């Protein structure tokens, strides 16, 4: 794709949205090209959104050069010619700039945004000698560093796949924690503000804490490095030992079976160390640690206590030596030195064992030599078929081929190993038999009637029939061995069944292998789809956050507009009501004027509103006068009315008392003066209240 084609394609897309063709763009004048270049620069940095018609050529060129240097555009060596061509909008200058700017537009836009805040401010050194200017310059550098850190965090958040809801929760939690910490710090500052020397103490403790943290980090690092060094030394020692063993095995020209036996012995030795020695050493270390803990928990020993313990140890050693000397003298005096016999027998057996070991070593060397000779002969036979045929002719039908000979050789080697193992077992049994025979002779020499002695011992111990019981137990043991053998056969049968089941499972696995392979492919495809889904979901979440923010902003604006609308509507209805009231009043005034002129009549009794209102005023005044007269009459006769009311109250009480007495005399018969048989009425006669009782 050519430069011109890429420029036209980029300008026809967002955010420029031009509708250029190659021919139309190529026909643009220099000034129009400068306008397009300025539009591209304005999209990168809003500070360049300037009408170039209102700007001098020198200012525009300086602005463009500054932006190109900020974006690290590769300027040509001929800067004067480049600046002149940029000032006049020459195509050979504008086209490369447009191609470079539009090709990496997003990167250049980001760099322009960062350069707006991170561009270095050139301050002469002589001005930095001023303290205020130097402080402002340092603050400027610090703000730039803060901006870098904030921008990095924003980029990480944009590229991360954290959900917006989780971010909101985390931000809320952090704000609450920050608020709590601020309150706590303010409380502590307020509490310690009145204490003298607290600031110095705080600085000292802060410095001490930092040093302690640094010391702890260094100690931990040292410990890790020492552990690594010890492990490296140990591995190096093991590797050197293995290397020396391998070199020794190579120099001695060992056979493969010998090398295998050596490796097997090494594995057995390591297994023995792992299973037996390491747990034993671990237990010893634990016991030692427990003993040391107990010793640490005990009270401190004084020098006198230590001296007493040393004296006690020395006395015990002397006592042990004294008892050992006495035991030796007693054995010599009795002439029954049994240990001498066993020592002599042990020496004899040791000598025999050493002789057998020498014989076995010699036999191994002879076997190795013969094995090597046979292999050479077998190789010679393999290399010369005629020689093999000659061997077959000489040795007859019993001649073995090389493969058969190797199998026979392996079989003989296995039998030889088995023979050696059985021979060693036989030697152990023979040695044990000698010891038992000697023991039997010693016991028989002490007592010829052994059975009688055993019976006497059984009788003395209260276990008569022990030997018979032991014989029966031996029979039971033999039967138990037979049962165990039967169990072994059963277990072999079970193992055979298990083998068949495993074989069946293996066949089933082989049958399922293609499906498993397909499943793996599907699983791989699922993982890829899941990755795509997560990416799309993250993109959706980011878009949703932006749309949610936009929705909230629009809702707030809509709410504000709705409140304004309701307020205006309420004001409109209020004004409309006031207008209707004033209109009604105006109509009434107009009617009053017409009635005064004689054009019409309000009512058959009243001609105008004025007459109507005057009549109502007169009525109210007469009613007021009448009410005042009644009020005056009431005030004048108030005392008589009160006396009369009290008299009637007393009369009512007297009548109620008579009714109660009559009821008690008649035995429960009731007389209710207020029932239908007696009626009380009250009338207003001549301004006085009169009460009558009719029976």
If one compares 383 and 621, the residue with the highest pLDDT of the two is: 621
Tell the burial category of 349 from Cβ atoms under 10 Å away from its Cβ (0-12, 13-18, 19+): middle
Per 3-state DSSP, what percentage of the chain is helix, strand, and coil (rounded to 5)? 85, 0, 15
pLDDT (0 to 100) of residue 654: 93
pLDDT (0 to 100) of residue 384: 47
Q: For 181-197, how does the pLDDT look when each residue is reduced to its tens digit (9 = 90+)?
A: 888 888 887 877 777 77
pLDDT (0 to 100) of residue 540: 87
If one compares 447 and 591, the residue with the highest pLDDT of the two is: 591
Is pLDDT at 676 greater than 50 in this prediction?
no
Q: For 645-656, how does the pLDDT look when each residue is reduced to its tens digit (9 = 90+)?
A: 899 999 999 999
**Lowest mean pLDDT, pick from 220-234, 387-401, 590-604, 628-642:** 387-401
pLDDT band at 394 (very low <50, low <70, confident <90, very high): very low
Question: Is the distance from CB of 55 to CB of 62 less than 8 angstroms?
Answer: no
pLDDT (0 to 100) of residue 625: 92
Q: For 496-550, how does the pLDDT look when each residue is reduced to its tens digit (9 = 90+)?
A: 787 888 788 788 878 888 888 888 888 888 888 888 888 888 888 888 888 888 8
Question: Is the distance from CB of 65 to CB of 83 less than 8 angstroms?
Answer: yes
Average confidence (pLDDT) over 655-678: 68
| Residue 11 CB contacts under 8 Å (≥ 6 apart), including other chains | 18, 20, 25, 36, 102
Least Cα distance to 373 among 421, 409, 343, 412 occurs for: 409
In this prediction, what percent of the chain has a pLDDT beyond 70? 81
Q: For 467-497, how does the pLDDT look when each residue is reduced to its tens digit (9 = 90+)?
A: 677 777 777 878 777 777 777 777 777 777 8
pLDDT (0 to 100) of residue 674: 45
Q: For 83-125, how does the pLDDT look when each residue is reduced to its tens digit (9 = 90+)?
A: 888 888 888 888 888 888 888 888 888 888 887 777 777 777 7
Q: For 544-588, how does the pLDDT look when each residue is reduced to its tens digit (9 = 90+)?
A: 888 888 888 888 888 888 888 888 988 898 898 999 999 988 888
Structure-token match 């032991």, residue found? 470
CA distance 249 to 243: 10
- In degrees, to the nearest 5, what angle opens at C-alpha 100 toward C-alphas 96 and 103? 135
Is pLDDT at 341 greater than 70 in this prediction?
no
3-state SS, 312-377, equals HHHHHHHHHHHHHHHHHHHHHHHCCCHHHHHHHHHHHHHHHHHHHHHHHHHHHHHHHHHHHHHHHH
pLDDT band at 669 (very low <50, low <70, confident <90, very high): very low
**Structure letter (DSSP) for residue 684:** E
CA distance 276 to 297: 32
Q: pTM for the whole thing?
A: 0.28
Tokens representing residue 172 in the block: 């809320």
Question: Is the distance from CB of 87 to CB of 57 less than 8 angstroms?
Answer: yes
CA distance 220 to 215: 9
| CA neighbours closer than 13 Å in the CB half-sphere of residue 242 | 9
Considering the chain, tell me which residue range(s) the CATH 1.10.418.70 domain(s) occupy.
1-118+137-160
Q: Does domain 1-118+137-160 have CATH number 1.10.357.10?
A: no
Determine the number of helices (DSSP H) and then strands (DSSP E) in the chain: 20, 2
pLDDT band at 381 (very low <50, low <70, confident <90, very high): very low
Phi-psi region of 78 (alpha: psi -120 to 50; beta: other; left: phi over 0): beta
Tokens representing residue 329 in the block: 């003298």
Tell the burial category of 108 from Cβ atoms under 10 Å away from its Cβ (0-12, 13-18, 19+): buried
pLDDT (0 to 100) of residue 334: 58
> What is the average pLDDT score of the chain?
78
Is pLDDT at 670 greater than 70 in this prediction?
no
pLDDT (0 to 100) of residue 112: 83
Residue 195: φ, ψ to 5°: -80, 135
pLDDT (0 to 100) of residue 340: 56
Dihedral Cα 14, 18, 24, 29, nearest 10 deg: -100
Average confidence (pLDDT) over 147-169: 75
Is pLDDT at 658 greater than 80 in this prediction?
yes
Measured N-to-C along each axis, helices 91-103 and 30-44 cross at an angle, to the nearest 10 degrees, of 30
Between the CA of residue 382 and those of 283, 373, 389, 397, 443, what are the distances in Å? 59, 14, 11, 19, 66
Question: Is the distance from CB of 420 to CB of 360 less than 8 angstroms?
Answer: yes
Measured N-to-C along each axis, helices 402-446 and 338-383 cross at an angle, to the nearest 10 degrees, of 170
CA distance 616 to 609: 11
């Amino acid at each position: 794709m050519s430069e011109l084609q890429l420029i036209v394609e980029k300008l026809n897309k967002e955010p420029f949205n031009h509708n250029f063709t190659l021919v139309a763009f190529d026909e643009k004048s220099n000034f129009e090209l400068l306008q397009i270049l300025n539009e591209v620069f304005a999209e990168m940095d809003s500070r360049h959104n300037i009408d170039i018609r209102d700007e001098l050529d020198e200012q525009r060129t300086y602005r463009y050069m500054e932006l190109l240097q900020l974006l690290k555009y590769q300027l040509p060596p001929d800067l004067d010619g480049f600046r002149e061509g940029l000032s006049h909008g020459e195509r050979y200058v504008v086209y490369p700039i447009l191609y470079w700017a539009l090709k990496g537009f997003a990167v250049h836009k980001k760099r322009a945004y960062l350069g707006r805040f991170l561009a270095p401010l050139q301050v002469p050194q002589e001005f930095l000698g001023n303290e205020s200017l130097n402080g402002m310059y340092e603050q400027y550098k610090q703000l730039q560093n803060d901006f870098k850190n904030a921008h990095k965090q924003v980029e990480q958040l944009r590229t991360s796949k954290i959900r917006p809801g989780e971010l909101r929760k985390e931000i809320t939690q952090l704000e609450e924690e920050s608020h709590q910490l601020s309150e706590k710090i303010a409380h502590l500052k307020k509490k310690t503000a009145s204490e003298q020397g607290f600031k110095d103490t705080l600085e000292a403790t802060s410095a001490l804490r930092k040093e302690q943290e640094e010391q702890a980090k260094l100690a931990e690092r040292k410990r890790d490095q020492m552990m690594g060094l010890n492990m490296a030394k140990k591995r190096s020692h093991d590797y050197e030992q293995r290397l020396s063993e391998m070199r020794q095995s190579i120099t001695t020209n060992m056979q493969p079976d010998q090398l295998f036996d050596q490796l097997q012995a090494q594995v057995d030795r390591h297994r023995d160390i792992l299973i037996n020695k390491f747990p034993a050493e671990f237990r010893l270390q634990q016991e030692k640690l427990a003993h040391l803990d107990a010793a640490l928990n005990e009270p401190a020993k004084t020098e006198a206590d230590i001296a007493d313990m040393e004296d006690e140890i020395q006395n015990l050693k002397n006592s042990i030596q004294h008892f050992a000397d006495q035991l030796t003298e007693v054995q010599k005096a009795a002439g029954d030195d049994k240990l001498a016999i066993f020592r002599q027998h042990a020496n004899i057996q040791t000598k025999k064992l050493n002789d057998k070991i020498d014989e076995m070593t010699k036999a191994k060397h002879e076997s190795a030599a013969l094995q090597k000779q046979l292999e050479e002969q077998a190789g010679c036979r393999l290399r010369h078929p005629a020689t093999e045929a000659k061997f077959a002719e000489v040795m007859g039908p019993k001649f073995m081929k090389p493969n058969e000979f190797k199998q026979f050789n392996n079989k003989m080697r296995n039998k030889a190993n088995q023979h050696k193992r059985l021979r060693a077992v036989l030697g152990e049994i023979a040695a044990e038999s000698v010891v038992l025979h000697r023991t039997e002779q010693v016991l028989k020499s002490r007592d010829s009637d052994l059975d009688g002695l055993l019976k006497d011992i059984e009788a003395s111990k209260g276990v008569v029939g022990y030997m018979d019981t032991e014989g029966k137990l031996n029979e039971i043991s033999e039967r138990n061995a037979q049962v165990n053998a039967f169990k072994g056969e059963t277990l072999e049968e079970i193992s055979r069944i298990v083998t068949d089941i495993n074989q069946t499972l293996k066949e089933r696995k082989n049958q399922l292998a293609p499906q498993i392979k397909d499943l793996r492919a599907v699983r791989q495809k699922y993982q890829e789809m899941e990755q795509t889904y997560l990416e799309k979901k993250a993109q959706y979440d980011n878009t949703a956050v932006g749309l949610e923010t936009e929705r909230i902003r629009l809702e707030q604006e809509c709410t504000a507009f709705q409140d304004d609308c309701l307020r205006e509507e309420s004001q409109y209805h209020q004004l409309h009501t006031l207008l209707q009231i004033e209109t009604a009043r105006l109509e009434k005034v107009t009617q009053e004027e017409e009635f005064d002129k004689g054009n019409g009549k309000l009512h058959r009794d009243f001609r105008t509103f004025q007459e109507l209102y005057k009549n109502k005023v007169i009525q109210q005044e007469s009613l007021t006068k009448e009410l005042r007269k009644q009020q005056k009459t009431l005030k004048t006769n108030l005392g008589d009315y009160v006396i009369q009311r009290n008299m009637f109250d007393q009369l009512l009480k007297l009548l109620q008392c008579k009714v109660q007495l009559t009821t008690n005399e008649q035995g429960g018969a009731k007389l209710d003066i207020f029932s239908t048989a007696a009626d009380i009425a009250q009338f207003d006669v001549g301004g006085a209240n009169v009460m009558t009782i009719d029976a």
